[in-house]
Structure 1
Amino acid sequence: MNCNQFNSISLEEVLLSLGHLPTKQNEKEAWYLNPFASESQASFKLDKRINAWYLHSEGVGGKNTDFMKKYLNASVNEVLDWAQKQNFSSFHQQQQIKKSEPNYTIDEILDLQNPNLKQYLQGRGLSPKVYDYIKEVRFTVGEKKLYAIGFENLSGGFELRNSFYKGSLLKKDISILNLNSNLQDISNLQDKNIKGVAVFEGFMDALSFIEMQKSFAGDILVMNSIALINKSVECLKNYSDINIFLDNDNAGIKCKSQIIKYFPEAKDHCSIYSNHKDLNEFLIHRINNDVAINLDKHSEKFPEADKLEEIKQEPEIKNSNGFKMKR
């Protein structure tokens, strides 16, 4: 998908996919509450005639690409990559040719074996403690054979990482890890009396939490993309104790605000790593400064009980093979 194709998609449909509904509209225009910040009166105008937007409260506007660049705090290429993974009906209606098949194939999905991938994880501060939560994915793009660490989502897709590659395969979706030994069905969460959940933007931060945390026995929700904030919020309705560990950047702050808007009782723990972009960066810093940190009595353990505001915990799971990926 290129910029012209994305800009030809109905912005009204894009906004709807992100969970934004107009406060008033007619055949020519629609008004929305600011999608980028909280406000009480709608200042975001969509001109349906030219498929363009203008935010009166900030004096900015543009086409779909401009909107998603600001919404995702991302580059044009990242926006187009996100748009390509969506299923916009107005785009499919415009296509005059059959959609081409993906130029990749998944060759194997294995338990982690490759020493280069293990070394990459070690460089990110992660030990064999996290191996049970990831896979080694071997795949072919064009004629090039590649391998990467794979983190599965609820739709069977994978987030991929290695030392030189960051991407995804198959459908984009959130991931939910169950750190309890009992298998739980995502479709019946409301019947399982789930106690706690920790929320992360990316799986490296989630793995970092698992690496550092010894006794948390709730669920872990990984958004995998901030564009999946609405699905994440829907799943969070099933939890009574929500703990937020999002990135300390504009996108992370915006997502955090949106979660807290729906769940005022949710606990924000980003202050634990306030001097770092995210939890993984904090973990790497912690390892690189191990001697100094061990001398600091306040950094003896992670997370600190007072900073976590009494996250509901259960005895440590001794057998990590009890992990289940929810479907």
Structure 2
Amino acid sequence: MNIQQAKNISIKSIMESFSLFPSKGNDRTAFYFALDREERTPSLSVNFVGNTAFDFGTGKKFDNVSLVQAIKQCSVSDALKYLAGLDYAFIKEEITAKRETSFEISAIKDLQHPALIQYLDSRNINFKTNYLREIHYEISGKKYFGIAFENNSGGFEIRNKYAKLCLGKKNISTFENNSSTLQIFEGFMDFMSFKNMDEIFGNPSADYAVLNSISLTYLLEKMIKKYEKVELYLDNDNAGDKGTIELKNIFPNANDQRGLYKEFKDINDFLMSR
């Protein structure tokens, strides 16, 4: 797929492929919440007719390709690959749910669906783990399934090849093993990648915290347990820089471990390079 072909894909379908739905709008334009920050009033204006978006908070303009780049933090070529997959896969689903639409979980079970196992395999992650489950759910009468990672509020971070969303209340995920060491990760894919490389990172008895969103660093202030050692394994990007600074303010003794994979965007990229 080339850039011109990518521009012909419905921008609404692109947003829906990431489980992003408008807060308000009509058939021509709609407002979404910002892609890179938490906000109470949506500031991202999306033009369904022109296939463009404008962030009133930052002044940034997006076409289909740059929009995918911003969401996935990827290169132009990777964005085009994603859009090529959208062209024949996700658009056919025609999701019409709004951001506030309720959902219903129909099943949570051990991972067994071939598509989900294949997705994890493509990212070099072992599906045989107690941390991940297979979830089946409905939104506006449409049935979906994905990989589920539970947070501390009983909500689920959901991933599959075409979707990234949270069902239920957003929160961090913590796992305590009575350790004096706390290891902190940005997302569960990085956490699972880390667990797939114990021979490199070691310390399987540590306590773990997965932010599930870089905006949730403040929730770690509520952790009563005092740790002798805190290790940070965030992404090598602007959001990771910001999160690292915020976490060091919470844990003055925290050590930034990103030098271990400094040539890669995140731990999963590092794992996939091996």
Q: TM-score range by the shorter chain?
A: 0.5 to 0.7
Query: Are 1:120 and 2:119 an aligned pair?
Result: yes
Distance 1:106 1:65, change over 3 A: farther
CA distance in 1, matches of 2:224, 2:235: 18
**Counterpart amino acid of residue 170 in structure 1:** G
Note if contact 1:196-1:241 (Cα within 8 Å) is conserved in structure 2: yes
CA distance in 2, matches of 1:225, 1:210: 19
Distance 1:197 1:236, change over 3 A: farther
CA distance in 1, matches of 2:221, 2:125: 28
Deviation of residue 102 (structure 1)?
A: 2.8
Q: Tell me the matched-pair count.
A: 195
CA distance in 2, matches of 1:253, 1:166: 22
**Counterpart amino acid of residue 143 in structure 2:** K
Query: Are 1:171 and 2:169 an aligned pair?
Result: yes
Query: Are 1:282 and 2:263 an aligned pair?
Result: no
TM-score (norm 2): 0.63
Deviation of residue 263 (structure 1)?
A: 2.2
Deviation of residue 133 (structure 1)?
A: 0.6
Distance 1:5 1:147, change over 3 A: closer
Q: Give the corresponding residue for 2:101.
A: 102
3-state SS of the aligned residue for 2:263?
coil
- Structure ranking higher on relative contact order (CA contacts 8 Å, 6+ apart): 1
CA distance in 2, matches of 1:281, 1:236: 33
Deviation of residue 219 (structure 1)?
A: 1.3
Unaligned runs of 5+ in 2: 1-22, 25-29, 41-54, 61-66, 72-98
Deviation of residue 101 (structure 1)?
A: 6.6
Distance 1:147 1:5, change over 3 A: closer
Of the three residues 202, 206, 211, the one matched with 2:196 is 211
3-state SS of the aligned residue for 1:116?
helix
After superposition, the C-alpha distances for 1:236-272 in whole angstroms (9 at most, x for unaligned) are: 8632211000000101101101111232321111011
CA distance in 2, matches of 1:165, 1:174: 19
Within 5 Å, which residues of 2 pair with 1:157-236?
157-178=155-176, 180=177, 194-214=179-199, 215-235=203-223
Within 5 Å, which residues of 2 pair with 1:130-149?
131-149=129-147
Distance 1:174 1:4, change over 3 A: same
Structure 1 segments (4+ residues) deviating >6 Å = 3-7
TM-score (norm 1): 0.53
CA distance in 1, matches of 2:231, 2:224: 10
The structure with the largest alpha-carbon Rg is 1
